[in-house]
Each structure stands twice: as C-alpha cells, then as structure tokens.
Chain A
Amino acid sequence: MFPVSRFRVEDESMRPALEPGDYVLVNRWAYRVRPPSPGDLIVVVDPEVPTRYLVKRVSETFGPRGVRVTGDNEAVSRDSRTFGPVALERIIGKVWLRLKR
C-alpha cells in the first residue's frame, strides 16, 4: 500500500487549521515508527459510521489502546466527547501536508 493518501476536507470543526475544501496528504506509515502524540492531526475511520473518515486532532493518548480526538472548533465538533476513544487500528494516518484551498 502506497504510504501517502490524499483526502478532501469537509465541514468546519477543524477551522482554522483546516478549512472545508482543503486537501490533506496523510502519511499512513507515520505510526509504525512512533506512537501518536497529543497535537497530531490524524485521519480516522468514523467510529459511528464505519464507511467514512474523520479528520481530528489527538488530544490524549492511551498507549496501545487508543487515542482521544477532538475538533479544534470544540463548540461545533462531534468527536471523542460523543463517541469516546478511538482504537489505534482505526487510525488511517497522520496529516503530513495541507493543500490549502
């Protein structure tokens, strides 16, 4: 599998770090060498709707068990406050580059 994937951003919970319409390049291998750390921007499989992806920021890590994610725009974000921690195997990768709209 090619280590870099491209995603298009929708919705506003990561403003101003990511705006709707931006693209992000995601490094799928980032966490092979070291675990996620708070502050990382990551793309995960939505725990509530497994056919779609979310882009959020890691707010807390629980070692091998998973991470908590939150949107930067907390007032409107749907994130770990609603669906709880996200297991590591649901992480697609780390946002490596933002292609600003």
Chain B
Amino acid sequence: MSLLHSLARALDRISPAPIAYAHCDIPCGIYDPHHAQLAAHTVIRMIDLINQLEKPGPNATPEQRQEYTAKLARYVLVKEQHAEIAKNELRILWGDYFKPDHVKTFPELNDLVWKTLKTASKARQEINLQAAEDLLKGTNDIASIFWKTKGLETITTKAPYPTERQTVYPRMK
C-alpha cells in the first residue's frame, strides 16, 4: 500500500471520496427467479408423493417392500436434487444479479436470501412439508423483489402444476 493511498484513505475520514465504478456486468445478463420457484414446487410435490405412498404393513411381501423402497428412494433423490437446484439458483441471483443498489432499495433482501437458503437445506434433509412450503414462500418473495428491480409488477396466482400453490409471476408489459 503506497503512502499516497494511505493519505487518500485518511482523507476519506474527513470527506469520503465518491466511487468510480469500473462497472462489471456480462452484457445482457440472463437471470430469472423462476428456476428456483420451479425447484421449490418439485420439492413440495415429492413430499406429497412420499406422504401418499402406502407404507408396507407387517404382512407385506418382500416384493411389496422392495417396490415401496424403490419408490421412496426415487422421490427422496429427486427431492434432494431439486432442493439443491433451488439453492444454486438463489446463490446465482444473490451473488451475480443483485447489486448493492438493490439491497439499499430492499434492505430485507440479504436476510431473506440467507433464510431461504437455510430453509432449502432443511427441505433437502428432512421429509418436512412445512420446510418445503417455506422454501416456496422464500423463492416467491425473492422473485417479487427481482421483478421489481426490473420495473415489472407481479401477480400471485395458483400455479398450473399438481402442487397448485400460490406463485409469484411477472406481469409482462
């Protein structure tokens, strides 16, 4: 660190230097919170399917047990994959799309993303419908902020999937 740099930094205490941004952005950055919302729907759907699965009773045959185990394993696998997809998509929005200006306008954003990531981990680890519902709610809230930063209003409506949960969509101009 040079002496002049230290001097400039000391001056900042008296009167902060304005910032000149060597602004970074891959031109036409393509981001959309819908991937995260979709993954949250899948997690809910997998938990519904797991809960609907008939558990083998004490008199079940080995074939019935095997069929149960195979179905359960598949649902759990997909649930975990999609909880991870939701986390990855949220990290991309958080790390790459959202900028300090957005956090100034939506001060709740950082905490919201952080909590939603934690919820996604819980939905991944457990067969916990409430955690999956909270994950969808978190992704909806983040989608709502995302579309506002794009200057678009949102509508909240029933999703056209078997999960049929309330979902935030942009109202395209």
Residues of A within 8 A of B (CB): 5-15, 18, 20, 22-24, 26, 43, 46, 49, 52-56, 71, 73, 75-79, 81-82, 97, 99-101
Contacts and interface: CB of A to CB of B under 8 A. Distances in A.
A12 B21 CA distance: 8
B17 A8 contact: yes
Interface string B22-62: 11111110000000000000000000000000000000000
B22 A11 contact: yes
B12 interface: yes
Contacts of A49: 101
Sorting the interface of chain B by its residue count into under 10, 10 to 19, 20 to 34 or 35 or more gives 20 to 34
B27 A6 contact: no
A100 B20 contact: no
Interface stretch (B3-11, B74-82, B131-139): B3-11
B12 A8 contact: yes
A46 B23 contact: yes
B105 interface: no
A11 B23 contact: yes
B45 to A, nearest CB: 38
A5 B27 CA distance: 29
Interface of B: 1-2, 4-5, 7-9, 11-12, 17-28, 101
Given A8-B17, A97-B4, A99-B8, 20 more contacts: A6-B8, A6-B11, A7-B18, A10-B22, A11-B22, A12-B24, A14-B22, A15-B22, A22-B5, A23-B9, A46-B23, A49-B101, A54-B23, A73-B24, A76-B24, A76-B25, A77-B22, A77-B24, A82-B25, A99-B2
Given A6-B17, A7-B18, A8-B18, A71 B4 contact: no
Nearest to B16: A8
Contacts of A7: 17-20
Contacts of B7: 99
B21 to A, nearest CB: 5
Contacts of B28: 82
A54 B21 contact: yes
B5 A10 contact: no
A30 to B, nearest CB: 15
Nearest to A97: B4
Contacts of A10: 19-22
Nearest to A81: B27
